[in-house]
Structure 1
Amino acid sequence: MTTLGTASASPGEMAVGRLPVGEARDGSEVGLPVAVINGEQDGKTLYIQAVSDGDELNGLGVIRRLVPQLDPEEIAGELLIIGIVNHYGFQVAEHRNPIDDTKLNRTYPGNESGTASERIAAATFGAVRRADLVLDLHQGSTSCMINEVRVRCGSRHRLHRDCLELAKVFGCGYILDRKGPDGQLARVAPDEGIPTIDPELGGSVGWNEESIRKGVKGVFNVLYRYGFLDGEITTAPQTRATGFSQYGSPAGGLVTFRADLGDRVDRGETLFEITGPFGRVKETVTADSSGILWRHRRLPQVASGEYVCSVGTNVDEY
């Protein structure tokens, strides 16, 4: 029997339920939606979660399309899935948890007696510890971003190669291989000996169909390669960046980009211009180093010093 929260499944079965994580302001129990898929045959355990940032919905789009396609009688091993981690942020479509004004994916491994976010992190990390592999599905919030996978444990970590291989198997085409901040799940779980990646499935308001399709394909790639399902994949070389440069606006105005997401840019090449409301160019911003335009803001209006875009640097193929 495989159990997660109130969901329990015997071999060859699937079950859904709730994982209790605390109480809301009206005293009602808060439970995260969970699914358990207990394969007919023995095998590894895969943990998948989405929406630890409350406005990042593409991962949830992947899960709701993935689960109906899985037949427990064809699976070897177990899948533990949490569809919505940041319950409070999801309810109000906010990135952070509004109960404690915290970015939940900075609170792992959590604290059972801590803040609302720390309690959620502790409850979900209990499931993570049971897994052999972890997929933490994200996106670039509501900004515009390429589809990529992040390896966050750092190049000197003993599981770095395992996490990098998992990212290559997922196969978005781009990998950001850079140590993440303290408290990120993809940074903390490898310390427990669990290869973990952070697929960043584009960036959008609401769903993005292309990113969801890539995410579903990526999960199936993992299921095939690690023996959960019968099937073969061929891994293609991925474009990897190990650096990340952010650019702010030197002036207030309106942004015009001179490169598209995924474009390679050379040092000194124009990234964007800032114009006034009548089209006069006020400032031109060029790349400090060669790389790939990885992410940029969605809205054109900026204040001086406000974030505009990011370039992945130190680019190679893996």
Structure 2
Amino acid sequence: MTSLGTASAAPGEMDTGRLWVGETRDGTDVGLPVAVINGADSGKTLYVQAASDGDELNGVGVLQRFVPQLDPTELSGTILITGIVNYHAFQVAEHRNPIDDTKMNRAYPGDADGTSTERIAAATFDAATRADLVVDLHQGSTSRMINEVRVRCGRRHRRHQACLELAKVFDCGHVLDQKGPDGQLARAAPDEGIPTIDPELGGCVGWDEQSIQYGVQGLWNVLDYYDFLQGEVELTTQTRASGFDQYGAPAGGLVDFKVDLGEEVTRGDTLYTITDVFGSKKDVVTADSNGILWRTRRLPQVATGEYVCSVGTNVDTY
């Protein structure tokens, strides 16, 4: 019998339940939705979570479509899932936990006696560290972004190659291989010896079906490659970036992009212009380095100094 919170499944079974992480202001229990899919045969354990940021919903869409297709009688090993991590932020469709105004994916490994965010991080980190592999489903918030996978442990980390392999298996086609900020699950779990990736499934308001399908296929790839299932995965070449150039607005006005997401740019290429409301050009912004247009703001209006876009740099293939 394998359990996560109140979900408990014998070999060949599946169950859903709740993982207690505290109480709301009126004393009501807060339980994260969790699932246990216990394979009929022994094998590895995979941990998957979604909605660490409350407005990043594509990962929830992945699980909504992926879990009903699973048959535990055909599975070797176990899948542990937390369907919504940032419970309070999800309720109000905000990025950060409104209880303590904290970003969840800066709080790992958490503190069982700490703030609301730290307690949730601690509970989900306990679940993650039971696994052999971890997939932490994200998206680029409500910005526009390519589908990519992030390896956040840093290239000198002892589990870097294993994390990079997992990213390649998930196969969004693009990988950001850059050490992440302290407190990320994809930083903390590799320190415990567990290969972990952070798929960033596009960026949108609500959810995007194409990005969701990348996530669904990525999870099937993981199950096949790591012998949870009997399928085979042919690894494909990935485009990898190890840095970002970020661009802001030198003037206020309306942004007009001259390149598309995922398109290669060369140093000196025009990335975007800024015009006034009548279309008169106010400024032109060009690329500082060769790279790939990785992420852009969603709305066209900008104030001076406001974020506009990011270009992935130091690009290679692996």
TM-score (norm 1): 1.00
Instruction: Using the TM superposition, give the Cα deviation of residue 33 of structure 1 relative to its aligned residue in structure 2, in angstroms.
Output: 0.1
Does residue 67 of the first structure (1) align with residue 67 of the second (2)?
Answer: yes
Aligned-partner Cα distance in 1 for 2:245–2:37: 41
Residue identity opposite 1:140 in structure 2:
G
Cα deviation digits, residues 269-310 of structure 1 (max 9, x gap): 000111000001101000000000000000000000000000
Question: Which residue pairs with 1:202 in the alignment?
Answer: 202
Asked whether 1:168 is paired with 2:172, we answer no
Alpha-carbon deviation of 1:86?
0.2
In the alignment, what sits opposite 1:227? 227
Residue matched to 2:114: 114
Q: Secondary structure in 2 aligned to 1:153?
A: coil
One-letter code of the match for 1:77? Answer: G
SS at match of 1:18: strand
Aligned ranges 1:117-266 → 2 under 5 Å = 117-266=117-266
Partner Cα distance (1:139, 1:128) in 2: 19
CA distance in 1, matches of 2:83, 2:129: 17
CA distance in 2, matches of 1:192, 1:271: 41
Amino acid at match of 1:66: F
Shift of 1:233: 1.1
Match of 2:24 in 1: 24
Match of 1:56 in 2: 56
CA root-mean-square deviation: 0.4
Counterpart for residue 285 of structure 1:
285
Secondary structure of 2:52's match?
A: coil
Task: Give the match's secondary structure for 2:80.
Answer: strand
Q: C-alpha deviations, 1:219-264, integer Å up to 9, x for none?
A: 0000000000110010110000011111000011000000000000
* One-letter amino acid matched to 1:67: V
> 1:207: Cα distance to partner?
1.2
1:55 aligned counterpart, secondary structure: coil
1:209 alignment partner AA: E
In structure 1, C-alpha distance between the alignment counterparts of 2:66 and 2:35, rounded to whole Å: 11
Return the alpha-carbon distance in structure 2 between the equivalents of residues 237 and 176 of structure 1: 14
Match of 1:101 in 2: 101
Report the counterpart of residue 316 of structure 2 in structure 1.
316
Amino acid at match of 1:249: A
Q: Which amino acid aligns with 2:256?
A: T
Q: Deviations over 1:7-57 (max 9, x none)?
A: 000000000000000000110000000000000000000000000000000
Q: What are structure 2's unaligned runs of at least 5 residues?
A: none
Whole-Å separation in 1 of the counterparts to 2:131 and 2:202:
26
In the alignment, the residues of structure 1 paired with residue 103 and residue 67 of structure 2 have an alpha-carbon distance, to the nearest angstrom, of: 27
Task: Tell me whether 1:8 sits opposite 2:8 in the alignment.
Answer: yes
**1:47-98, CA deviations, whole angstroms, 9 ceiling, x for partnerless residues?**
0000000000000000010000000000000000000000000000000000
Give the paired residue count: 318
Q: How much identity, in percent, do the aligned residues show?
A: 73
Following TM superposition, by how much is the alpha carbon of 1:144 offset from its aligned partner in structure 2, in angstroms?
0.2
Question: What letter corresponds to residue 280 of structure 1 in structure 2?
Answer: S
- Give the Cα–Cα distance (whole angstroms) in 2 for the partners of residues 31 and 277 of structure 1: 48
Distance across 1 between alignment mates of 2:104 and 2:28: 21
**Aligned residue in 1 for 2:90:** 90
1:35 aligned partner: 35
Secondary structure of residue in 2 paired with 1:42:
strand
Amino acid in structure 2 at the alignment position of 1:80: L
| SS of equivalent residue, structure 1 residue 186 | helix
Superposition map of 1:258-277 within 5 A:
258-277=258-277
> Partners of 1:301 and 1:136 in 2: how far apart?
32
CA distance in 1: counterparts of 2:107 and 2:229, whole angstroms: 33
CA offset digits 1:189-236 (Å, max 9, x no partner): 000000000000000001100000110000000000000011001011
In the alignment, the residues of structure 2 paired with residue 247 and residue 161 of structure 1 have an alpha-carbon distance, to the nearest angstrom, of: 31
Q: Secondary structure at the match of 1:35?
A: strand
Q: Matches of 2:104 and 2:207 in 1, distance apart?
A: 21
User: Runs ≥4 in structure 1, deviation > 6 angstroms?
Assistant: none
Counterpart Cα distance in 2 of 1:24 and 1:142: 27
Letter aligned with residue 260 of structure 2: D
- 1:81 is aligned to 81
